[in-house]
Structure 1
Amino acid sequence: MAASARQTAALNHALALAHALAAAERGLPVIPLSRSKLPALRSPHRGERRHVPCRGECGLPGHGVHDATTDPSAVRALFAAAPWASGYGIACGRAPHRLIGVDLDVREADDETPDGTDGVAALRDLARRHGFTVPPTVTVLTPGGGRHLWLTGPPDVVVPNSAGRLAPGVDIRGCGGYLVGPGSITSRGTYRLAAGSADLAPAPCPPALLTLVAPPPPPPPPAPDHPSPPGPAAAEGLIRFVLASPHGQRNTRLFWAACRAYENGAPAPLLAALTTAALTTGLPEPEVHATLASAATITSRPPPPGLPA
């Protein structure tokens, strides 16, 4: 690498660290990102023969969004371990802000999308049809012409990640996802705060939009005096349903299956099996526990002892 290129990389790294530290000071958990927008640090388990379902419990960096932290010393350590990092990611769904990222893509027409993609117009149409207004909030302009809207969610709602579920060009970054922070330099360009965003705080997600992005609530369950647990075939069906979750629907499927389990008495072995199935799909353990707790709350049935309340 030429001297000028090394100097540029060092400057980009220093700027990314400075932006990440400023975000951490505001209570936003951050991780270093490479120019590809992916986590800069590789998994410490990549050479192991047996899959290790670790989300940072080993104490080593390299677990993606699970490394995200607001501790300045830890942020500096992560960036020191990734001197090639030129950006930073902000973990969504984490206290205190519990960010919900609305990622609006704007793309020109091509062979795959003859009409192009306009996530901004799609969100405007959703707002009109569902009767909500997107409040002034932190807005980040992406190099591709799109934008990220930062909203906050309530502590008792787990918002899953999704891509195009609400409308083409409208992706949601929720628990287990991250947003590229403003000031990050990527291979496609720099992410920048929109004019007027610098002094704003993330606004609360409008209730109607929250209903769209959160897992759908189950229909009111029957309330027998002594609910019967699901039979073996039904239980196996719920477990298979969770195991077959495609990326972007893992949280939603677990929530639905857990609601069905709670409606029928929530036997501990079934909840344990659903937990194992969700972990197998790659959901982080804290996210699994939070989703089970949300299902228990909505169905008004406390989880049995030994499982998350």
Structure 2
Amino acid sequence: MATTDRPPAPGPARYPRQATRLALAHALSAAERGLAVIPLSRTKLPALRSPHRDQRDGPRCHGECGRPGHGVYDASTDPARIRALFDAAPWATGYGIACGLPPHHLIGIDLDTKTGTDSTTALRELALNHLFTIPPTIVVITPSGGRHLWLTGPPDVVVPNSAGRLAPGIDIRGAGGYLVGPGSRTDLGRYTTAPGTDHLAPAPCPRSLLRLLLPPPPRTRNPAAGAASATGAHGRGLVQFVLAAHAGQRNTRLFWAACRAYEDGIGEALTDALVQAAVHTGLTDREARSTVASAARMSRRPTE
């Protein structure tokens, strides 16, 4: 039996052309806002099958071959390209929005409604425990009653996809993932924008939440333990002082501790431990090293 690059021709009742035209219209509207899109089938999967589905060996292609059918790697904001993708998939009834791409670097917080989970309460508890609030942003209601919260991330941060890692019922759509766009129709129903949010732009992801979305750093020695081995109990105390910093006092505590370390002649030996402690509290490596360098210049005794 011959095979083709697309499913058997669907009947008009099951795949109404109107649904495809509406999906294309919504996809083009999203592209005008800078969101890269792909056509989706009624099962929420990419509508176009991979041109390499029979290829078992060789490097994985992410669209370098120039043919469609590479899932989220086909995503585009170019109207001509989008129309061509939908022309190749006349059975498409929805569209997907690629996450992690410029200019928005979209992050999707998927609050599911699986039996036995209360993802909304779980997110609220995370917000209370980690001191963040979800700003006003686009919210998409799924056919099952779940919600997709749209946030944006920094351009130099790659947020991975995850399922249930943050909390039961909370899935994350990051780089390499996609969100079903509002206006899409699936077997379960239609995706819609929550009232009062369709005019909003995706809001920046709160910094505390962003840290939770990133994979844990490689295991390293405890900053205080490393300081103790290099500089003794005094160095450990200075590192613990930095580790106890809260938002608004991180730079101040780091600068004070670094000044004390350099005045006591252990600044060089303690620098890496102080920087590691400051990064643990939320500063970037660059910010922390700049602060320590300032302390070193301030504490340097004038030569005679």
Q: TM-score, normalised by structure 1?
A: 0.67
Number of matched residues? 222
- Conserved in 2, the CA contact under 8 Å of 1:31 and 1:67? yes
CA distance in 2, matches of 1:78, 1:23: 15
CA distance 1:49–1:128, shift in 2 (3 Å): closer
Task: Flag structure 2 segments of 5+ consecutive residues without an equivalent.
Answer: 1-8, 227-271, 273-284, 290-304
Q: Deviations over 1:233-288 (max 9, x none)?
A: xxxxxxxxxxxxxxxxxxxxxxxxxxxxxx9xxxxxxxxxxxxxxxxxxxxxxxxx
Q: Output the amino acid matched with 1:107.
A: K
User: 1:107 deviation in Å?
Assistant: 2.7
Show the counterpart of 1:42. 49
CA distance 1:194–1:47, shift in 2 (3 Å): same
CA distance in 1, matches of 2:172, 2:109: 5
Q: Output the amino acid matched with 1:62.
A: G
Secondary structure (helix, strand or coil) at the match of 1:107 reads coil
CA distance in 1, matches of 2:44, 2:287: 36
User: 1:50 deviation in Å?
Assistant: 2.3
Show the counterpart of 1:32. 39
Show the counterpart of 1:5. 13
User: 1:4 deviation in Å?
Assistant: 5.7
CA distance in 2, matches of 1:2, 1:82: 11
User: 1:46 deviation in Å?
Assistant: 1.1
Higher alpha-carbon Rg = 2
Show the counterpart of 2:230. none
Q: Output the amino acid matched with 2:57.
A: R
User: 1:298 deviation in Å?
Assistant: 11
User: 1:52 deviation in Å?
Assistant: 4.0
Q: Output the amino acid matched with 1:187.
A: D
Secondary structure (helix, strand or coil) at the match of 2:19 reads helix
User: 1:299 deviation in Å?
Assistant: 12
Show the counterpart of 1:245. none
CA distance in 1, matches of 2:134, 2:12: 44
Larger deviation: 207-216 or 32-41?
A: 207-216
Show the counterpart of 1:200. 200
Q: Output the amino acid matched with 1:208.
A: S
1:84 aligns with 2:91: yes
- Conserved in 1, the CA contact under 8 Å of 2:10 and 2:91? no
Q: Output the amino acid matched with 2:123.
A: L
Q: TM-score, normalised by structure 2?
A: 0.68
Q: Output the amino acid matched with 1:174.
A: G
CA distance in 2, matches of 1:106, 1:13: 27
Secondary structure (helix, strand or coil) at the match of 1:117 reads coil
User: 1:145 deviation in Å?
Assistant: 0.9
- Cα RMSD, aligned residues only: 2.6
1:157 aligns with 2:157: yes
Q: Output the amino acid matched with 2:135.
A: P
Show the counterpart of 2:211. 211
CA distance in 1, matches of 2:19, 2:150: 24
CA distance in 2, matches of 1:70, 1:107: 33
Q: Output the amino acid matched with 2:212.
A: L
CA distance 1:297–1:215, shift in 2 (3 Å): farther
Identity %: 66
CA distance in 1, matches of 2:56, 2:36: 31
Secondary structure (helix, strand or coil) at the match of 2:16 reads helix
- Conserved in 2, the CA contact under 8 Å of 1:107 and 1:144? no
Q: Output the amino acid matched with 1:133.
A: T
User: 1:48 deviation in Å?
Assistant: 2.4
Q: Deviations over 1:74-110 (max 9, x none)?
A: 00000000000000000000000000000000133xx
Q: 2:101 aligns with which of 94, 97, 115?
A: 94
Show the counterpart of 1:232. none
Show the counterpart of 2:138. 138
Show the counterpart of 1:188. 188
1:171 aligns with 2:171: yes
CA distance in 2, matches of 1:207, 1:216: 15
